[in-house]
Amino acid sequence: MAVSLSTETCDVIVIGCGGFGSSAMFHLAQRGLNVIGIDRFHPPHDRGSSHGETRIIRKAYFEHPSYVPLLHRAWELWEELSESVGERLIEQRDLLIAGPPGSDVIEGARLSARLYELPMENLTAAEAAIRYPEFHLPEDYAVAIESTAGYLWAERCVASHLDCATSLGAQLRPGETVFSVASSGSGIRVHTDRGCYSAGAAIVTSGAWTGQLLSDYARHISVLRKTLCWFPVTSENWIRKDRAPLFFVDAPESQFYGLPSVDGKTIKVGMHTGGEVVHDPSTMSRQVTDEDERPISQFAGKYLGGMKPQASRSVICMYSMTPDGHFLLDRLPELPVVVAAGFSGHGFKFTSVLGEVAADLVQRGQAGLDIGFLSASRLGADH
Ligand SMILES: Cc1cc2nc3c(=O)[nH]c(=O)nc-3n(C[C@H](O)[C@H](O)[C@H](O)COP(=O)(O)OP(=O)(O)OC[C@H]3O[C@@H](n4cnc5c(N)ncnc54)[C@H](O)[C@@H]3O)c2cc1C
């Protein structure tokens, strides 16, 4: 005998309650909408793309100047969230950007700084070595120091958005997996491993799994397996705010980023470029191998001092990449669904503001800030 599943209804369903989804839930709930958020795990968790303690936030955006207005609002919203929950979720820290003169990273950061009048100091590698003795950069490198930068406590940001959302009445359904999203009259119907929901609209923000849910988008989002390593520090400099900045180094081997010590014991380093393609995020190995750690240890051993380049801890995380490295945030043409995905390894800092933008898209059909450069049509993905 067929068992009929009951259908729950709400205004908006958020599918995936990680970095982005937790923020979208909060902004929707703040507007008085009846929201249900569904996640296959128990966020914040370490199975997706938003774990590993910290994330860098910076404003002189080398990827494209169009991100800067979003970053101004993102920073403001992180401050507001910190105030609401009564703990610091964002910390200011200078950022050292280093690369060959004329490289996209150096020139891109300088362009955003110039266009938006952001403070930026230009140094030679020799000058940088005096101020920051733990950096051993190639002699001919250009260095830019950005003070409108810092880091976020990633899992605490997700937890805070969820706490604020649920305290405003949003419902979180952890441990439930969405199988499909389809149109139903003027709204949508969502099927999960537990039941069925109907809603006026949905936001699909399932990170590395987005291509599995929205098959039309699968070819526009590729998932990469990434490693984060923590290295023990041996120099006090890594603990001092004036001696150790955040960093992004466009090295000949690859692009690397890292944070000075936030625990007084280790620094965290990751490799931005490269990474093995993931075919199924659910079955990807999360076991860190020597091979995973090797390029990061080699970078640390060659370009950083005052630490031991043998990782004391490491984790696996995932990047969801679009072909051009810019995010995908748009409304689907055929359904009352907003898709927010393809955050391409640099999306966490924006989750506060893009959750607000997604709430605008759901509620008013348009965003208050310019997100045209993140549209599906630029990827040829709007139909
Ligand atoms: C190693 C690493 C370092 C990074 N460093 C930075 C940085 O310094 N600064 C920065 O700004 N960004 C950084 N990023 C990028 C940033 O962390 C990501 O872009 C961001 O966290 C992505 O958030 P998300 O909401 O898309 O994904 P997630 O947080 O993974 O959320 C997706 C959620 O969807 C859920 N889900 C998936 N499928 C389903 C389903 N079928 N049903 C229900 N739930 C589902 C998952 O369980 C998950 O909770 C980094 C990323 C990595 C991996």
Query: Domain 95-146+222-321 falls in which CATH fold?
Result: D-Amino Acid Oxidase; Chain A, domain 2 (3.30.9)
DSSP state of 294: H
Query: Concatenated DSSP letters for 159-182?
Result: HHHHHHHHHTT-EEEET--EEEEE
> Ligand 1: does its nearest atom lie under 6 Å from the Cβ of 181?
no
The length of the chain in residues reads: 383
> Ligand 1: does its nearest atom lie under 6 Å from the Cβ of 161?
no
pLDDT score of 381:
73
Beta-bridge partner residues of 271: 256
> Ligand 1: does its nearest atom lie under 6 Å from the Cβ of 49?
yes
> Ligand 1: does its nearest atom lie under 6 Å from the Cβ of 204?
no
DSSP state of 94: -
pLDDT score of 382:
57
- Ligand 1 probe mutation, 22, 42, 49, 282, most atoms within 8 A of CB: 49
Q: Nearest residue CA, atom 23 of ligand 1?
A: 19
Give the span between the Cα atoms of 153 and 144, in whole angstroms.
Answer: 24
Peptide bond into 44 cis (omega under 30): yes
Specify the domain boundaries for CATH 3.50.50.60 within the chain. Answer: 7-49+155-220+324-378
Distance 286 CA to ligand 1 centre (A): 15
Specify the domain boundaries for CATH 3.30.9.10 within the chain. Answer: 95-146+222-321
pLDDT score of 383:
46
Q: Which amino acid is at 18?
A: G
> Ligand 1: does its nearest atom lie under 6 Å from the Cβ of 349?
yes
> Ligand 1: does its nearest atom lie under 6 Å from the Cβ of 345?
yes
pLDDT score of 334:
85
Give the span between the Cα atoms of 172 and 166, in whole angstroms.
Answer: 7
DSSP state of 304: B
List the chain pLDDT tens, one digit each, 383 residues: 444 567 999 999 999 999 999 999 999 999 999 999 999 999 999 999 999 999 999 999 999 999 999 999 999 999 999 999 999 999 999 999 999 999 999 999 999 999 999 999 999 999 999 999 999 999 999 999 999 999 999 999 999 999 999 999 999 999 999 999 999 998 999 999 999 999 999 999 999 999 999 999 999 999 999 999 999 999 999 999 999 999 999 999 999 999 999 999 999 999 999 999 999 999 999 999 999 999 999 999 999 999 999 999 999 999 999 999 999 999 998 899 999 999 999 999 999 999 999 999 999 999 999 999 999 999 987 54
- Ligand 1 probe mutation, 23, 346, 349, most atoms within 8 A of CB: 346
Give the span between the Cα atoms of 30 and 231, in whole angstroms.
Answer: 40
Handedness of CA 191, 192, 196, 198 (dihedral sign): negative
Handedness of CA 133, 134, 140, 146 (dihedral sign): negative
Distance 44 CA to ligand 1 centre (A): 10
Distance 326 CA to ligand 1 centre (A): 15
DSSP state of 291: H
pLDDT score of 2:
44
Superfamily of domain 7-49+155-220+324-378, CATH level 4: FAD/NAD(P)-binding domain (3.50.50.60)
What torsion do the CA atoms of 268, 319, 143, 234 make, to the nearest 10 degrees? Answer: 10
Q: How many CB atoms lie within 10 A of CB 139?
A: 8
Catalytic amino acids?
Answer: 51, 54-55, 268, 272, 317, 349
> Ligand 1: does its nearest atom lie under 6 Å from the Cβ of 292?
no
pLDDT score of 1:
44
pLDDT score of 336:
96
> Ligand 1: does its nearest atom lie under 6 Å from the Cβ of 20?
yes
Distance 53 CA to ligand 1 centre (A): 13
Burial degree of 260 (CB within 10 A; 0-12, 13-18, 19+): buried
344 close to 322: Cβ distance less than 8 angstroms: yes
pLDDT score of 333:
87
Give the span between the Cα atoms of 73 and 59, in whole angstroms.
Answer: 11
For residue 317, give the ligand 1 atom closest to its CA: 53
Q: Nearest residue CA, atom 15 of ligand 1?
A: 345
104 close to 275: Cβ distance less than 8 angstroms: no
